């Protein structure tokens, strides 16, 4: 298994090109199931979750051609309406095939995802929404069996805001009979990006970017071209890395208005941030200041940035409180950061972080995707050498992270 070896203490400077968003690309690839025509996608990040999704879609009979960051999909010959446990257990986002399969083919068999490292993460809201649209759903031996001659438009109010739940129901509603209203919809930019693709495929959707999506179902969707939006979490991860090590880096192919909340907190921490239409520059000269925050749904502070910002708080001047409100178990990085010399206590869903002058390099273990990113940031800022094990978590969601960091002066290498 690959590991990352980091010699800490190097300031970062230069330019990094940000990749397309993982969490936009995954639902967008599933939208290929909604049409018999061709989708031409660009700015698709090259990472493990995308490969897993493409393998699953191929198994279903979707024609897939991948050339670098371009992916061409054709759903003219889909013959297997199933997502098996082996795929769903490695990538929960596989649940996103449920809505499109049911809407276009009238049936689907999808494994229940089960729990994961960051929380129990049920999919009851996906199921509740599809049932409201007339689907007949049974759960048997760990699988969701869904059937519907044709889904019917309905008003769906989810119990909580769910990103993939909104995306699944949105895709299903595009081909339903009549009007669907999704209340309490997730406003994450990745939902908006999916909606824009669906509109260019002929879907009729209003309220994009708001918490109320109104969809008039159509009988079929056609092919389209689409460029995936920038990855705001990759962007924020690099911003935190520079804030932790000090330096001056410009990120390209990304937009500051995708991550206002995290950028405001970085400014509070002392980073100087400037931006244009498709770039953000971060400059950091002094030790960071401790900054408290709580994670919330978009446009609030993203849970997917909590671990990385916590790494910054660990070496900040002062004490901070970080409260996680989205997932019940998303503090697995805390013990590993403490192994690197941090002083973090957990009380319920809040971490109390007393800033220490610096991290001290040590062997650590990655536990989930964003936890891995926080360990990379800590390793870059640490005195000495850090060896991070189980980086397959990192490879799931970051496009060649160590290559990009090396190009701005980090001493980081992949070892076998
Ligand atoms: N929830 C339910 N029932 C449901 C759906 C969600 O109880 O049917 C709960 C979840 O357990 C959680 C909360 O609602 O406590 C929010 O979960 P949500 O459904 O929004 O999360 P998700 O759609 O499974 C996506 C991202 C995650 C990101 C979250 C929150 C994708 C593929 N994944 O997950 O990304 O953390 O939204 O923003 O879009 C990551 O990239 O590292 C990652 C975990």
The tokens for 21 are 């968003």
Residues β-bridged to residue 295: 301
Task: Using the mean position of ligand 1's atoms as its centre, give its distance from the Cα of residue 280 in Å.
Answer: 27
Q: Which atom of ligand 1 is nearest to the CA of 121?
A: 11
Q: Which residues contact 39 (CB under 8 A, 6 or more apart)?
A: 31, 32, 72, 73, 74, 197, 201, 223, 224, 225, 226
Task: Please say if 314 is a catalytic residue.
Answer: no
| Residue with the two structure tokens 């980073």 | 271
Q: How far away, in angstroms, is 162 Cα from ligand 1 center?
A: 6
- What tens digit of pLDDT does each residue of 382-415 get? 999 999 999 999 999 999 999 999 999 999 999 9
Dist. CA 339–CA 356, nearest whole Å: 13
Choosing from 165, 170, 367 the residue with most ligand 1 atoms within 8 A of its CB, the one to mutate for a pocket test is 165
Compute the distance from residue 92 Cα to the ligand 1 centre, in Å: 9
For a ligand 1 pocket test, name from 162, 231, 397, 398 the mutation site with the most ligand atoms within 8 angstroms of its C-beta. Answer: 162
Which strands, in side-by-side order, build the sheet including 38-42?
Answer: 63-67, 70-74, 38-42, 224-227
In this predicted model, what pLDDT tens digit does every residue of 180-193 receive, in sequence order? Answer: 999 999 999 999 99
**pLDDT digits (tens), the chain, 416 positions:** 899 999 999 999 999 999 999 999 999 999 999 999 999 999 999 999 999 999 999 999 999 999 999 999 999 999 999 999 999 999 999 999 999 999 999 999 999 987 778 888 899 999 999 999 999 999 999 999 999 999 999 999 999 999 999 999 999 999 999 999 999 999 999 999 999 999 999 999 999 999 999 999 999 999 999 999 999 999 999 999 999 999 999 999 999 999 999 999 999 999 999 999 999 999 999 999 999 999 999 999 999 999 999 999 999 999 999 999 999 889 999 999 999 999 999 999 999 999 999 999 999 999 999 999 999 999 999 999 999 999 999 999 999 999 999 999 999 999 99
Please report the atom of ligand 1 found closest to the CA of residue 297: 38
Location of structure tokens 């000090």: 246
Please provide residue 137's backbone torsions phi and psi, each rounded to the nearest 5 degrees. -120, 130
CB environment 204-225: b (16+ within 10 A), e (fewer): ebeebeeeebbbebeeebebbe
């Amino acid at each position: 298994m690959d590991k990352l070896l980091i010699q800490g203490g190097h300031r970062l400077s230069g330019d990094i090109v940000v990749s397309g968003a993982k969490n936009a690309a995954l639902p967008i690839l599933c939208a290929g199931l909604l049409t018999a025509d061709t989708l031409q996608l660009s700015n698709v990040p090259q990472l493990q979750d995308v490969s897993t999704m493409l393998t699953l879609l191929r198994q279903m009979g979707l024609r897939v051609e991948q050339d670098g960051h371009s992916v061409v999909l054709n759903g003219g010959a889909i013959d297997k309406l199933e997502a098996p446990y082996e795929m769903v257990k490695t990538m929960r986002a596989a649940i996103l095939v449920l809505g499109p399969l049911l809407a276009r083919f009238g049936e689907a068999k999808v494994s229940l995802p089960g729990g994961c490292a960051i929380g129990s993460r049920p999919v009851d809201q996906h199921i509740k929404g599809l049932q409201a649209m007339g689907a007949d759903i049974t759960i048997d031996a760990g699988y969701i069996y869904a059937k519907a001659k044709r889904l019917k438009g309905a008003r769906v109010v989810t119990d909580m805001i769910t990103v993939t739940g909104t995306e699944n129901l949105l895709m299903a509603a595009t081909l339903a009979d009549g009007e669907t209203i999704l209340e309490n919809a997730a406003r994450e930019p990745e939902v908006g990006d999916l909606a824009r693709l669906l509109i260019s495929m002929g879907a009729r959707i209003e309220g994009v970017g708001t918490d109320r999506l109104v969809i008039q179902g159509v009988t079929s969707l056609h092919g389209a071209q689409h460029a995936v939006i920038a990855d705001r979490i990759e962007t924020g991860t690099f911003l935190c890395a520079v804030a932790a090590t000090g330096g001056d880096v410009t990120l390209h192919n990304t937009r500051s208005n995708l991550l206002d909340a995290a950028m405001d907190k970085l400014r509070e921490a002392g980073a100087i941030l400037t931006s244009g239409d498709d770039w953000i520059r971060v400059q950091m000269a002094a030790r960071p200041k401790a900054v408290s925050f709580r994670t919330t749904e978009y446009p609030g502070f993203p849970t997917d940035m909590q671990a990385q910002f916590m790494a910054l708080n660990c070496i900040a001047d002062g004490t901070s409180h970080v409260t996680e409100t989205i997932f019940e178990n998303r503090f697995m990085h805390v013990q590993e950061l403490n192994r690197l010399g941090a002083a973090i206590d957990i009380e319920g869903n809040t971490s109390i972080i007393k800033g220490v002058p610096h991290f001290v390099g040590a062997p650590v273990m990655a536990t989930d995707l964003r936890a891995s990113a926080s360990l990379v940031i800590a390793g870059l800022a640490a005195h000495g050498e850090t060896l991070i094990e189980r980086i397959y978590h990192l490879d799931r969601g970051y496009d060649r992270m160590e290559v990009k960091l090396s190009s701005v002066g980090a001493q980081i290498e992949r070892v076998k």
